[in-house]
């Protein structure tokens, strides 16, 4: 089912609003979701309605009487950051720079080795950087929103990366362009994406979240797609997410990976989640390896040959040599752990636990004390 709610499209998850269960959204009243207030940041004013929407990832960790859900990190926010005119100018500056440098013609594997995108850092384009920071004070506006919604002080936030990425429908551009980005987790605790291209100029696109998917198999299941340029999707970077395929036209976005001071986070939470995700990767790879072996041998089989570990004289004389061969299907436990539904559930349970635990309560955070050594005299 497709849902349209003044300023946002949410696909495959019932209706737009605050998700309170794994199967449905509650529709928020327009007065709850959107306010007709002017935007004062950077001196700019918008007379039209301001997008203000909150979507909550459903719980996957079953804990009775657990008051840790929902944590601030369970929520995805869609907020108006730029006006239509500001987004259009930023898009023009970014497009001119990319056309002159060819930065959108192929994914940049040096900057993003695992999940490369066609992008360039904002700081590489002096005109764009100056416009965003000097005229719009975009970082202040974004960090204020992240602070307000995720409960972290702006002074505890810093960029890991801030770049402009482009997605083109297959066959519509030159070079090795990209039309989507597979499911992944960011290196940052907080992330945001600001749409620069007017949504009516392309089809598809948006950000999908695995935790929002209903399993319906419908096109666009679990996708959050702002319906106007200048709106930002703010979320925890550790949510499993990706860029939905663009089927027509071009989608250009500002993307930011924002780090949170380590004094705000609980030690061990991320490493625990990573271990579980790693176990699932190993389980999937183990089963895939068995299937590859079975294909190579023509049937599901195993073999054991210890010749490679024996000394040559032992092999020639037959001492200690053994060779066994037979047919053995993959263990049921191996198949079960590689099953898509099992893997998805375990990954999302680990994700849910991380969202509940990684941020320390405000009274437990101790920012480092600045250390001033004063003047240094060399004798």
* Judgement on whether residues 220 and 291 belong to the same structural domain of the protein: no
Contact 19, 57 (CB under 8 A): yes
Query: Is residue 19, in this structure, part of any structural domain at all?
Result: no
Does residue 47 or residue 229 have the better pLDDT? 229
* Judgement on whether residues 148 and 277 belong to the same structural domain of the protein: no
Query: Is residue 283, in this structure, part of any structural domain at all?
Result: yes
Arithmetic mean of pLDDT, 260-282: 95
Contact 245, 219 (CB under 8 A): no
* Judgement on whether residues 99 and 244 belong to the same structural domain of the protein: yes
Does residue 214 or residue 121 have the better pLDDT? 121
Among 54-68, 77-91, 234-248, 265-279, whose mean pLDDT is lowest? 54-68
Query: Is residue 245, in this structure, part of any structural domain at all?
Result: yes
Single residue among 233, 260, 287 that ends a domain in this structure: 260
Domain count, the chain: 2
Query: Is residue 78, in this structure, part of any structural domain at all?
Result: yes
* Judgement on whether residues 137 and 208 belong to the same structural domain of the protein: yes
Bridge partners of residue 195, in order along the sequence: 253
Single residue among 260, 285, 303 that ends a domain in this structure: 260
Among 157-171, 185-199, 258-272, 317-331, whose mean pLDDT is lowest? 317-331
* CA nearest to 367, candidates 268, 292, 264: 264
Q: pLDDT-based confidence at 170, cuts 50/70/90?
A: confident
* CA nearest to 108, candidates 159, 163, 160: 163
Q: Which two tokens stand for residue 271?
A: 């490493």
* Judgement on whether residues 224 and 314 belong to the same structural domain of the protein: no
Q: pLDDT-based confidence at 374, cuts 50/70/90?
A: low
Check whether the bond before 106 is cis (ω within 30° of 0): no
> Tokens 């700081």 correspond to what residue?
123
CA gap 42, 55 in Å, rounded: 27
Domain limits for position 291: 269-364
- Average predicted confidence (pLDDT) for the chain: 80
* Judgement on whether residues 273 and 159 belong to the same structural domain of the protein: no
Provide the pLDDT for residue 177. 81
* Judgement on whether residues 301 and 357 belong to the same structural domain of the protein: yes
Query: Is residue 371, in this structure, part of any structural domain at all?
Result: no
Q: Which range in 35-44, 154-163, 291-300 is most confidently predicted, on average pLDDT?
A: 154-163
| pLDDT above 80: residue 277 | yes
C-alpha distances in angstroms, 223 versus 10, 211, 213, 293, 359? Answer: 6, 10, 8, 37, 26
Q: pLDDT-based confidence at 19, cuts 50/70/90?
A: very low
| pLDDT above 60: residue 39 | no
Arithmetic mean of pLDDT, 30-34: 30
Provide the pLDDT for residue 46. 40
| pLDDT above 90: residue 312 | no
Which alpha helices (DSSP H) does 228-319 contain, by range? 269-297, 312-317
Contact 28, 230 (CB under 8 A): no
* Judgement on whether residues 115 and 71 belong to the same structural domain of the protein: yes
**Alpha-carbon torsion angle 229, 164, 211, 354, nearest 10:** -130
Give, for 122, the enclosing helix (H) or strand (E).
none
Q: pLDDT-based confidence at 176, cuts 50/70/90?
A: confident
Contact 176, 105 (CB under 8 A): yes
Contact 358, 73 (CB under 8 A): yes
| pLDDT above 70: residue 199 | yes
CA gap 142, 238 in Å, rounded: 18
Q: pLDDT-based confidence at 310, cuts 50/70/90?
A: low
C-alpha distances in angstroms, 190 versus 152, 193, 229, 307, 371? Answer: 10, 11, 21, 53, 28
* Judgement on whether residues 171 and 190 belong to the same structural domain of the protein: yes
Provide the pLDDT for residue 111. 74
**Alpha-carbon torsion angle 355, 360, 363, 368, nearest 10:** -140
* Judgement on whether residues 183 and 307 belong to the same structural domain of the protein: no
Query: Is residue 82, in this structure, part of any structural domain at all?
Result: yes
CA gap 66, 69 in Å, rounded: 7
65 Ramachandran zone, left/alpha/beta (phi>0; psi -120 to 50): left
> Tokens 């013609």 correspond to what residue?
105
- Which phi and psi (to 5°) does residue 40 adopt? -100, -15
Q: Which range in 27-41, 76-90, 164-178, 289-303 is most confidently predicted, on average pLDDT?
A: 76-90
Residues in Cβ contact with 123 at an 8 Å cutoff, skipping those fewer than 6 apart: 129, 162
Provide the pLDDT for residue 11. 46
| pLDDT above 60: residue 38 | no
> Tokens 């327009």 correspond to what residue?
30
Instruction: Provide the 3-class DSSP secondary structure of residue 139.
Output: helix
CATH number of the domain at 200, please. 2.60.120.620
* Judgement on whether residues 235 and 118 belong to the same structural domain of the protein: yes
How far is Cα of residue 145 from the mean position of the Cα atoms in its chain? 18
Q: pLDDT-based confidence at 315, cuts 50/70/90?
A: low
Arithmetic mean of pLDDT, 117-128: 94
Query: Is residue 375, in this structure, part of any structural domain at all?
Result: no
* Judgement on whether residues 348 and 212 belong to the same structural domain of the protein: no
| pLDDT above 60: residue 324 | no
Provide the pLDDT for residue 327. 47
| pLDDT above 50: residue 6 | no
Single residue among 227, 260, 293 that ends a domain in this structure: 260
């Amino acid at each position: 089912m497709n849902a349209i709610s003044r300023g946002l499209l949410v696909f495959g998850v019932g209706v737009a609003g605050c998700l309170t269960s794994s199967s449905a959204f509650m529709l928020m009243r327009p007065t709850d979701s959107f306010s007709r207030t002017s935007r004062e940041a950077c001196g700019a004013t918008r007379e039209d309605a301001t997008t203000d929407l909150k979507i909550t990832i459903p719980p996957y960790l079953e804990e009775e009487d657990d008051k840790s859900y929902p944590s601030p990190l369970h929520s995805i926010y869609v907020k108006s950051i730029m006006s239509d005119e500001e987004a259009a100018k930023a898009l023009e500056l970014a497009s001119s720079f990319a056309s002159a440098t060819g930065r959108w013609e192929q994914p940049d594997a040096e900057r993003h080795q695992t999940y490369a995108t066609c992008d360039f850092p904002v700081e590489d384009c002096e005109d764009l950087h100056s416009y965003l920071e000097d005229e719009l004070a975009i970082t202040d506006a974004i960090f204020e929103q992240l602070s307000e919604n995720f409960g972290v002080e702006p002074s505890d936030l810093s960029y890991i990366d801030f770049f402009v990425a482009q997605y083109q429908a297959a066959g519509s551009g030159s070079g090795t362009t990209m039309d989507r980005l597979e499911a992944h987790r960011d290196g940052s605790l907080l992330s945001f994406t600001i749409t620069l291209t007017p949504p009516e100029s392309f089809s598809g696109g948006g950000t999908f979240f695995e935790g929002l998917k209903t399993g319906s198999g419908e096109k666009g299941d679990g996708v959050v797609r702002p319906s106007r340029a200048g709106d930002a999707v703010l979320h925890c970077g550790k949510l499993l997410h990706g860029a939905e395929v663009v089927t027509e036209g071009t989608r250009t976005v500002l993307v930011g990976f924002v780090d949170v001071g380590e004094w705000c986070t609980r030690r061990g939470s991320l490493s625990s989640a990573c271990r579980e995700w790693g176990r699932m990767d190993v389980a999937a790879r183990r089963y895939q390896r068995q299937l590859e072996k079975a294909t190579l041998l023509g049937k599901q089989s195993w073999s054991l040959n210890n010749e490679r570990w024996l000394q040559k004289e032992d092999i020639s004389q037959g001492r200690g040599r053994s060779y066994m061969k037979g047919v053995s299907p993959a263990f049921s436990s191996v198949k079960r752990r590689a099953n898509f539904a099992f893997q998805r559930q375990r990954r999302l349970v680990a994700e849910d636990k991380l969202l509940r635990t990684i941020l320390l309560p405000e009274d437990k955070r101790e920012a480092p004390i600045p250390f001033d050594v004063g003047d240094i005299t060399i004798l």
